[in-house]
Structure 1
Amino acid sequence: MQPHLLAETHEVTNQVPPLEGANLYRLDVPLQEWVQRYQGGWAEARLDAYGALAGGPLMMAGFLANENKPLFRSHDRYGHRIDQVDFHPAYHQLMQAAIEHGIPSLPWTDPRPGAHVARAGLMYLHNQAEAGSSCPLTMTFASVPALKLRPDIAAKWLPKVLATEYDPRNVPVGDKRGATIGMAMTEKQGGTDVRANTTRAWPVGAGGPGQPYELVGHKWFCSAPMCDAFLTLAQTDKGLSCFLLPRHRPDGTRNAFYIQRLKNKLGNWANASSEVEYRGALAWLIGEEGRGVATIIEMVAMTRFDCMIGSSSLMRQALTQALHHCAHRQVGGRALIEQPLMRNVLADLALESEAALALTLRMGRALDNPDDEQEAGFARLVTAVGKYWICKRAPNMIAEASECLGGAGYVEETILPRLYREAPVNSIWEGSGNVQCLDVLRALSKEPGVLDALFAELGDGHGDPRLGRHIEGLKAAFRDTEDIQYRARQLTEDVAVALQAKLLLEAGNAAVSDAFIASRLEGRGHAYGTLPRGLDIGTVLARSAPARV
């Protein structure tokens, strides 16, 4: 026997074919239907094109961008301080594709009905390929309402922010074809409590809205430090205020913005997060002095919406991987997807994924109708409800999907470990769970019309007595104000599940809505895969199962 033949110990069989190259939009029937339902159907060709990119070249770029983390260079070879973050070309490929397809700009440049829904669909597809690059995309998108508060500043920055050209060069904004905006709010001593911030701002001249100030202080989290400017908070004599701080001063010299180090994070590896210091950095006041939180709040709402999109998209990609594996892997002579208990698990995961998508795109529809009082109240509440619930559900759901692949789901050659590492950041960023639940109580108790908007949306439960009983219980829970902060998580969960159930009922797919209500409102199981008997599992699975198209 020849020696090389001794290495051939077995024939490789029962392996799952690659999913690379699949069009993520075409294999996602729920995404197609919910986009259509909320007036985003006009963007179908754009979504289809991006689905092909996300499942093909961008998916490969996502792996490369995570295998080659960004590197911080404080000085050049000659000893000059440069504060530069270097990225692998794959990261730039991801950013270029997203910006050229309007992910940070679409609702602002083409504000027709369904624009926020269509843009959410694009972001949903992009995140499945690589979620870390979505951080600067989100902040650039969310910065627009704040920048518009100062027409003079907006006139300079918005043409570059809304451009569909990606220009990663570290040069003054006037020399760039397009610009990205970051955010630097958090300080080490305050965390979520931004009013405890100590960064100080002094006016260069008379001061006031739109005028220059010099900032001295630190930021414990500055996300995407390679951006061209940052919305940041600092204290003036009148209190916490919001500023736009560019990387370069008007004369083209570097601003006094210094990166201390990059964060070594659990996930989100392709994105750079940093600690920074301002040492007399020049920045321009956005909004009124002392009104920093009020100025930045609309940006925060938009970034929280993107946390919903982000978690929903991670769940969808995890589901896609699990369904694809189970459709091809044989156990005991049958495909895993034909095994009764696995069908229970997969159907349960599919319900979680679609319910998250439904609530996310319903939020997009509300953002598309800001002048409608009912929709504005709905958006105010669901920004916090959805951010809490969908982001909380993602890590466990992805872990269960990974388990469907057995040991293969635990190794880095699959995307599932990356999805799992990525999931917690959406729950933490822009206010962790307790912050969101307390914000729900604040909105319901202090903002007129929000509670009415919630129960107007829920109605009588779309005629389903199970949901009707749940809604009546919710009303009673809100009337009982004793220890309401202690109960805030339970209340928020109950609101989220009620809204998801109502949306699924309203959409008219009885197999999906019945299974969701039976398991989420009446079920006794706690792990995924505990759906009760008598449900149309086959329809649920067929709806979400990926097919090579």
Structure 2
Amino acid sequence: MTSTLAQTPPYATHDVANQPPPLSPYDASDDTALLEGLRREGAGWAEPDVRRLGLLAGGPEAQEWSELANRHEPVLRTHDRYGHRVDEVDFHPSWHELLRVAVAEGQAGAPWADGRPGAHVARTAGGLVWGHTDAGHGCPTSMTYAAVPALRRQPELAKVYEPLLTGREYDPGLRVPTEKRGLLAGMGMTEKQGGSDVRTNTTAASPTAEPGVYTLRGHKWFTSAPMCDLFLVLAQAPGGLSCFLVPRVLPDGTRNTFRIQRLKDKLGNRSNASSEPEFDGTVAWLVGPEGQGVKTIIEMVNCTRLDCVMMSAALMRRTLVEAGHHVRHRSAFGARLLDQPLMRNVLADLALESEAATTLTLRLAGAADRAVRGDGGQGAEQAFRRIATAVGKYWVTKRGPAFTAEALECLGGNGYVEDSGMPRHYREAPLLSIWEGSGNVNALDVLRALTREPGTAEALFGELALARGADARLDAAVARLRSDLGSATPSGARRLVERMALTLQASLLVRHAPPAVADAFCATRLGGDWGHAFGTLPDGADVGGILARSLPAAN
């Protein structure tokens, strides 16, 4: 007698239908706003590389690296099998593959060694597309990028380490830094008792008999990427809070004291190890004068804050692409989701937010590039960079969590399931608002810039003036903003900075985006014709024009 069970098809009860195909492979650089901004900010020469990197980022191999690096989290080994202290963190091979590509593609310190105008813009554009993979490995590349200008405050140290920090070869493993083919740098700033208030740091730096060399004793509360080769660390020297270079391995080949107490169990950013190290007789070299630690690292902060804006914009774009792909292939109530009027409204609203974030990110990168190179208008660009980076860091990173949540909802229950990838993006988004100064810190920093550096307000309004007369709602918003600056208070800092960000984004879109995008943005973000959730664009908005520009080609 023959059994019929073995002949039963695996889905005898139903056909699998109305499910979208996998998104990958796709082109992460298929983003009109990004490519236009790249050219506009002086790095059009990098477009072939950005396009090539976009195809790699959206390819199945890189997407698998990202998934595996987050699924197989880093593991701390404090001791070897014999009981020797080693303080090493083991990563999944996918982590190393992601970093290998990122460093080779100039996502670490490479722009500082690139003489071409626009090199820093090219790096930012590359980050906007490579950010479609994994956000965690962007931490060590960001810190390496930011460490170079701080290290230049001590030319003799920069002469030794900068060529390795600006190279394009990833060389993992703890060895003597000068014997490696490339280096990554981290930072150790915050402590338990202070967080962003680094002036309360208690880690002590004691001078040795060798000039410029100190020993550290103390702790750090949140030091990411502990397997970096070098760290810039803040500690209290006899002359006050100072900046120090701490290598994991000393020039004689011995391990520097860098005891990793534990790794943080974080909400997101799971691929990246964030640690609590302790110093005890740790050898360190002074960077910049004693007592000027904050002044020494301020350029580092400018760089990492820009990267927070960049990564938030990348997450927005990545989740918008996922949502757009889903609604193209999914039908409900007799029509494709993409053809449903309310879903189109949601997607168009998300597209406005994404384009505004991307355009502002590239404008900030252009200001940074011109400021550090000393190009024409350096003073104005430096002042604009100073205030606009803090404004952008506050606002774009604040929009990230709400944006990713709405994009996730476009997938319905499918988006709430881990293997869609959307929950990982959602957990990642809040970090970028916290890292390099929370919302309050950045909002208050904007007020500090306005009161202590008068040129910053002039630079901001100079930028806004470039769009004067193009949109009455924008002109009115600029006038209100100028009127309100004189009465700014700490308790109202968030409200003021939000308006500054929206006005700045609107001015950029009015100048550089098509009328469909600029008009809808001004009507909603400045004109008040907007609800409290995404998907509340007014009936008069050119939703079709917005979507035609923003959604990548179907695959």
Same fold (TM over 0.5): yes
Residue 46 (structure 2) pairs with residue 43 (structure 1): yes
Q: Which residue of 2 aligns with 1:401?
A: 407
Take 1:281 and 1:366, find their aligned partners in 2: how far apart are those partners? 38
Correspondence for 2:19: 15
Give the length in aligned residue pairs.
543
Q: The residue matched to 1:18 in structure 2 has which SS?
A: coil
CA distance in 1, matches of 2:462, 2:186: 37
> In structure 2, what is the Cα distance between the partners aligned to 1:401 and 1:515?
19
| Residue aligning to 1:170 | 174
- Structure 1 counterpart of 2:90, one-letter code: D
Identity among equivalent pairs (%): 53
State the distance in 2 between where 1:104 and 1:255 align.
Answer: 24
Contact 1:501/1:516 (CA < 8 Å) preserved in 2?
yes
Which residue in the other structure is 2:313 paired with? Answer: 312
Q: Which aligned pairs between 1:142-221 and structure 2 lie closer than 5 A? A: 142-205=146-209, 207=211, 211-221=212-222
Q: Distance in 2 between matches of 1:232 and 1:411?
A: 40
Question: Aligned AA for 2:4?
Answer: Q
- Pairing of 1:297-446 with structure 2 (within 5 A): 297-370=298-371, 371=374, 372-446=378-452
Which residue does 1:34 correspond to in 2?
A: 37
- Residue 508 of structure 1 deviates from its aligned partner by 4.1
Q: 1:332 deviation in Å?
A: 2.0
Q: Does 1:501 align with 2:502?
A: no
Q: How far is the alpha carbon of 1:106 from its aligned partner?
A: 3.3
- Distance between the aligned counterparts of 1:83 and 1:426, measured in 2? 27
Cα displacement (A) at 1:340: 0.3
Q: Relative to structure 2, which stretch is displaced further, 213-222 or 166-175?
A: 166-175
Contact 2:171 2:183 in 1 (8 A): yes
Q: Which residue of 2 aligns with 1:480?
A: 487
Question: Where does residue 264 of structure 1 map in the other structure?
Answer: 265
Residues 155-195 of structure 1: CA deviation (Å, up to 9, x unaligned): 11112111111111111112211110001100001111000
**Partner SS state of residue 246, structure 2:** strand
Q: Secondary structure at the match of 1:281?
A: strand
Aligned to 1:3: 5
Q: What does the per-residue CA deviation read over 1:171-230, in whole Å, with 9 as the maximum and x for residues that have no partner?
A: 1112211110001100001111000000000011264xxx11000000001111000010
Report the Cα offset of residue 307 of structure 1. 0.2
Q: Secondary structure at the match of 2:419?
A: coil
**CA gap 1:277/1:53 in 2 versus in 1, 3 angstroms:** same
Residue in 2 that maps onto 1:76 = 80
Q: Give the Cα–Cα distance (whole angstroms) in 2 for the partners of residues 512 and 424 of structure 1.
A: 27
Whether contact under 8 Å (1:35, 1:118) holds in the other structure is yes
Partners of 2:77 and 2:90 within 8 A in 1 = yes
- Stretches of structure 1 that go unaligned for 5 or more consecutive residues are none
C-alpha offsets along residues 81-106 of structure 1, whole Å, 9 cap, x if unaligned?
10000000000000000111111133
Q: 144-153 vs 272-281, which deviates more?
A: 144-153
SS at match of 1:129: coil
Amino acid at match of 1:496: A
Of 129, 140, 143, which aligns to 2:144? 140
Please give the TM-score of this superposition, normalised by the length of structure 2: 0.96
Q: Whole-Å Cα distance in 2 between the matches of residues 164 and 475 of structure 1? A: 45
User: Take 2:526 and 2:110, find their aligned partners in 1: how far apart are those partners?
Assistant: 37
The separation in 2 between residues aligned to 1:479 and 1:198, in whole angstroms, is: 37
Tell me the CA shift for residue 109 of structure 1.
Answer: 1.7
Structure 2 unmatched ranges of 5 or more: none
**Secondary structure of 1:190's aligned partner:** coil
- The answer (yes or no) to whether the contact 2:327–2:338 under 8 Å persists in 1 is yes
Structure 2 CA distance, aligned partners of 1:111 and 1:540? 37
Answer yes or no: is the 8 Å Cα contact 1:462–1:506 preserved in 2. Answer: no
Alpha-carbon distance in structure 2 between the residues aligned to 1:17 and 1:449: 52
Q: 1-side partners of 2:161 and 2:191: how far apart?
A: 26
Does the aligned pair in 2 maintain the 1:462–1:505 contact within 8 Å?
no
Deviating more after overlay: 371-380 vs 280-289: 371-380
| 2:525 aligned with 1:520 | yes
Q: 1:335 Cα deviation (Å)?
A: 1.0
Deviating runs (4+, > 4 A) in structure 1? none
Which residue matches 2:463?
457
